[in-house]
Structure 1
Amino acid sequence: MKDEFMMYKLSETVKVTSKISTELFEKFNVKRGLRNADHTGVLVGLTNIGDVVGYDRLDDGTLQPVAGKLLYRGIDIDDLAHCAQKEHRSGFEEVIYLLLSGALPDEDALRQFSRMLCESMALEKQTKIAIIDLEGQDIMNILARTVLEMYNYDPDPDDTSRDNLMRQSLELISKFPAIIAYAYNILRHSAKGQSLHIRHPNDNVSIAENFLYMVKGSQGYTDLDVRVLDLALILHAEHGGGNNSTFAVRVTSSTGTDTYSSIAAGIGSLKGPLHGGANLQVGRMITHLKDVIKDWTNAQEIDDYFAKMLAKEVYDRKGLIYGIGHAVYTVSDPRAVLLKEMAKDLAKEKGRDAEFAFMQLLEERAIHSITHRKNAKTKKQVCANVDFYSGFVYDMIGLPKEVYTPLFAMSRIVGWCAHRIEELNFDDRRIIRPAYKNISSPVAFTPLKQR
């Protein structure tokens, strides 16, 4: 009882110690969230890896919304995705090669590289044991702890030379699918009382197919499932150095710490509901809307309910429509556009055309509702982001919700590794150390007996 009172007493002090007036941020020109007044990101670094385009800056300094583009090493994501689909092959392995090396592989190099990743996917005995010992309710936590555990089995974990960084990167990228699949199957067994299935990765198949096989078995997926998951992995692999988890990796890498510690920091960042966990929020919202919207084809009924959501009257009363809007993209998110294309085909295969049509109408009316709401703080143009459709796609594939965010990590590990390598190979390296201004006044120390 005394302990509970002490905890309450300490917690109450936070009301005072954490309170800082918004006016002070404006007074000292603090870029909250590392954002400028026009909501663009504060420029803190340079990179050759990825570019996220959502607007043009005109000569007078104003921002002109444009159709979104995502570039990997200067190559449009549309071209990477559509080419792989047209040639009926997986594209994620090609993207890994591109992001790590800076150039596209030829056929022979891609074949050898894909085989190397496939052969490296199987987990060592000690890693399997570690995952079993680390069983828990959240796969992202298990993933982070397993990555940190891998430090102990690396013959040279602290070496930050180019060769060693590339070796560690390829090891982590190739093993993430197996770690996540093992962790899910153990969670499924220990927490849900279901049968324990441990499937070893197959040789000579794509990362996307291997993951589906390890999670669902050889009869648990279709060719289209594999193609759609491969696309999702391509789309999530990189998103510039400014996204929260990649920035976390770059910040920790700038200290010279080991790869495993830095990647674990990225995992911790990605787990957050405002970052990698966003598709789960979208999924919960869509499930709710399916229940409360009686006529899935009635735009007015949807508009009326969205108006109540934005007014904080219904659902979670936060005034948000999840999956709509992005920090950079304005007219469109290219990842959402590409995923939506495949979602239509997948919905047809799974007999879920009505749900897909409902999703499209929700997207349309959500954008309209946000754009035309009264007393809006900003008139920024908004669009559906990739999270709006990713959860729906994963659900149609038959993937459990527990792996949605880990899937994001399974893809984004590529971008993290590329940015870590770049950060540690600048000619003039510097530790990333921004400033915080202290606004408290000096306080005289009071001896213990006089307090």
Structure 2
Amino acid sequence: MSCRGQKRGITLEKQTDSKGFVSKELQDLCNEVRRSNRIPSEDFTAYGVKRGLRNPDGTGVLAGLTKISNVHGYLINDNIRVPDQGVLTYRGIDVSEIVEGCRKADRFGYEEVVWLLLFGQLPAQAQLNKLHQVLGYYRELPENFAEDMILKAPSRNIMNKLARSVLALYSYDDNPDDSSLENNIRQSLQLIAQLPAIMTYAYQVKRRRFDKQSMFFHPVDPTQSVAESILDAIRPDRKFTHDEAHLLDLCMMLHAEHSGGNNSTFAVRVLSSSGTDIYSAIAAGIGSLKGPKHGGANHRVMMMMNDLMEHVDDWGSERQVYDYLVKIVNKEVGDHSGLIYGMGHAVYTLSDPRAVMLKREAEKLAPQHEGMQAKFELFELVEKLAPKVFEEVHGDTKTISANVDFYSGLVYEMLNIPPDLYTPLFAVSRMPGWCAHRIEEIETARRIMRPAYLSLSRRRPYVPIEER
């Protein structure tokens, strides 16, 4: 079956099939676009262009200064990049020490990290108590917000709903465009408190509209920690253990911040440098984090591993697993991207400290959940074999290790958190980091970001339409 449609002088013939419309004319138009947008890879090298804002050795181009966090993954010795154990610090403090300190005190640590990232120092007990109180107060969404912005416009993808809802909060703010420090702090605390609620509402509506399952909304409890409030909202019976809440709290602490150079944080800083409102800047960060090369990788890891488990008969066979990974890298199976999701990082080389901690938790939890021990051991095997596969297929001998995305999805699965929420949880956790970088950009940089692009187009005369 075909139909013809005309709009603004362009006629498109649409051939329909079970998946919708496929247009020959549209493909012709795409070919025109491709012809006009060909830039050979060697041209980037010839002109000294640093694609992806990366130096030739893979390090990032220095684009700014920050006091918020630091990501250490290698040493430079005689201008040569030397692999090193990964270290992540928040305001100069090793994140592993923060985690250990909170665990020894049996205290939820995410709120402590929020204070540290925003205000630069670890909070005293009175300050931490006040922050809990403020976040609990702001947790309730504006009146009719859930009904108007979430219930009436469900989304298959929770990340898109988060971005749309953050933009919509602009309309509920009596002073949205004021970029003063006082207003940015107020808006930041509100967003940190409200995004978890938006996420859980969006998930429930998605379940009802697209999955044809029951949805449920529980009253907000302002006395709960952020991690507790999330588990409370997504569990039908509102039941969760103390250990489960602390494990989710750990995940959120590890995802809270990761320097200014990661794609989503850089997006927040780029938009903030223009002087735009906080809602526009944070929505950009969410849109960036959704990408499978960034935060969306944690979901892609689980999709990849589920596909591997389905097609490999013996999960313990190094040969079978290795052969399937080779097919993945050769783009023969999986999503045909050629990527082993969760392996490798732009900065970390020998280890990603976040992955190390999450792997340790997964190893402890696996025996407590049916079928998880074998799955955990398969993850370990993939982590071991992936570097050898890259070396065989691409001749790539650089040191790579598992990143935070590799084990985070497995931990979420052990917490019975649905895959729809893997990447949204990353976004919710990253809010204090994004807000801290926005404030730092406005307070210290004070200049709109405007990198240069070298034009390769040549001057040519305009041709009248009757002569084309």
Give the alignment's TM-score, normalised by structure 1: 0.96
Q: How many Å apart are 1:375 and its aligned residue?
A: 4.3
Q: How many Å apart are 1:109 and its aligned residue?
A: 1.2
Tell me if structure 1 keeps the 8 A contact 2:329–2:393: no
Structure 1 counterpart of 2:138: 120
Q: Deviations over 1:362-420 (max 9, x none)?
A: 211223333x42542x4220000011111111111111111111111101111110000
Structure 2 counterpart of 1:3: 12
Structure 1 counterpart of 2:53: 34
Tell me if structure 2 keeps the 8 A contact 1:122–1:200: no
Question: Which residues of 2 match residues 195-234 of structure 1 at below 5 A?
Answer: 195-234=214-253
- Matched to 1:38, the amino acid is D
- Matched to 2:259, the amino acid is G
- Matched to 1:441, the amino acid is R
Equivalent of 2:96 in 45, 66, 78: 78
Give the match's secondary structure for 1:69.
strand
Q: How many Å apart are 1:339 and its aligned residue?
A: 0.7
Equivalent of 1:432 in 424, 428, 449: 449
Q: Which shifted more, 234-243 or 130-139?
A: 130-139
Q: Deviations over 1:214-272 (max 9, x none)?
A: 11144443222211111110111111000001000000000000111111111111111
Q: How many Å apart are 1:442 and its aligned residue?
A: 1.0
- Distance (Å, rounded) in 1 between the aligned partners of 2:462 and 2:260: 44
Question: Which residues of 2 match residues 187-266 of structure 1 at below 5 A?
Answer: 187-266=206-285
Give the match's secondary structure for 2:12.
helix
In structure 2, relative to structure 1, the CA distance for the partners of 1:67 and 1:26 (3 Å cut) is same
Q: Which shifted more, 218-227 or 267-276?
A: 218-227
Equivalent of 1:384 in 402, 424, 430: 402
1:442 aligns to 2:451 (yes or no): no
Tell me if structure 2 keeps the 8 A contact 1:225–1:346: no
Equivalent of 2:378 in 358, 365, 374: 358
Structure 1 counterpart of 2:186: 167
- Distance (Å, rounded) in 1 between the aligned partners of 2:292 and 2:461: 41
- Distance (Å, rounded) in 2 between the aligned partners of 1:292 and 1:145: 38
Tell me if structure 2 keeps the 8 A contact 1:54–1:66: yes
Q: Which shifted more, 381-390 or 199-208?
A: 199-208
Structure 2 counterpart of 1:299: 318
Question: Which residues of 2 match residues 151-162 of structure 1 at below 5 A?
Answer: 151-162=170-181
- Distance (Å, rounded) in 2 between the aligned partners of 1:409 and 1:28: 36
- Matched to 2:241, the amino acid is T
Q: Which runs of 5+ in 1 are unaligned?
A: none
Q: How many Å apart are 1:141 and its aligned residue?
A: 1.1
In structure 2, relative to structure 1, the CA distance for the partners of 1:69 and 1:358 (3 Å cut) is same
Tell me if structure 1 keeps the 8 A contact 2:231–2:238: no
Question: Which residues of 2 match residues 334-373 of structure 1 at below 5 A?
Answer: 334-351=353-370, 352-370=372-390, 372-373=391-392
Q: Deviations over 1:324-363 (max 9, x none)?
A: 1111100000000011111122223323222212211221
- Distance (Å, rounded) in 2 between the aligned partners of 1:239 and 1:448: 53
Give the match's secondary structure for 2:144.
helix
Give the match's secondary structure for 1:340.
helix
Q: Which shifted more, 164-173 or 115-124?
A: 115-124
Structure 2 counterpart of 1:410: 428
- Distance (Å, rounded) in 2 between the aligned partners of 1:125 and 1:32: 46
- Matched to 1:136, the amino acid is S
- Distance (Å, rounded) in 1 between the aligned partners of 2:418 and 2:342: 19
In structure 2, relative to structure 1, the CA distance for the partners of 1:303 and 1:172 (3 Å cut) is same
In structure 2, relative to structure 1, the CA distance for the partners of 1:250 and 1:303 (3 Å cut) is same
- Distance (Å, rounded) in 2 between the aligned partners of 1:30 and 1:109: 47
1:47 aligns to 2:66 (yes or no): yes
Structure 1 counterpart of 2:350: 331
Give the match's secondary structure for 1:312.
coil
- Distance (Å, rounded) in 1 between the aligned partners of 2:388 and 2:96: 26
Tell me if structure 1 keeps the 8 A contact 2:330–2:393: no
* Structure 1 vs Structure 2 CA RMSD: 1.5
Give the match's secondary structure for 2:443.
coil
- Distance (Å, rounded) in 2 between the aligned partners of 1:420 and 1:61: 32
Q: Which shifted more, 328-337 or 77-86?
A: 77-86
Structure 2 counterpart of 1:63: 81
In structure 2, relative to structure 1, the CA distance for the partners of 1:152 and 1:318 (3 Å cut) is closer
Give the match's secondary structure for 1:425.
helix
Tell me if structure 1 keeps the 8 A contact 2:112–2:123: yes
- Distance (Å, rounded) in 2 between the aligned partners of 1:181 and 1:68: 33
- Distance (Å, rounded) in 1 between the aligned partners of 2:429 and 2:259: 14
- Distance (Å, rounded) in 2 between the aligned partners of 1:36 and 1:448: 44
Structure 1 counterpart of 2:16: none
- Matched to 1:169, the amino acid is S
Give % identity: 46
- Distance (Å, rounded) in 2 between the aligned partners of 1:139 and 1:314: 27
Structure 2 counterpart of 1:89: 107
Q: Deviations over 1:267-305 (max 9, x none)?
A: 111111111111111111110121222222222322232
Number of equivalenced pairs: 447
1:419 aligns to 2:428 (yes or no): no
Q: How many Å apart are 1:80 and its aligned residue?
A: 1.0
Q: Which shifted more, 268-277 or 78-87?
A: 78-87
Give the match's secondary structure for 2:89.
strand
Q: Which has the higher strand share?
A: 2
Tell me if structure 2 keeps the 8 A contact 1:224–1:346: no
Equivalent of 1:310 in 314, 321, 329: 329
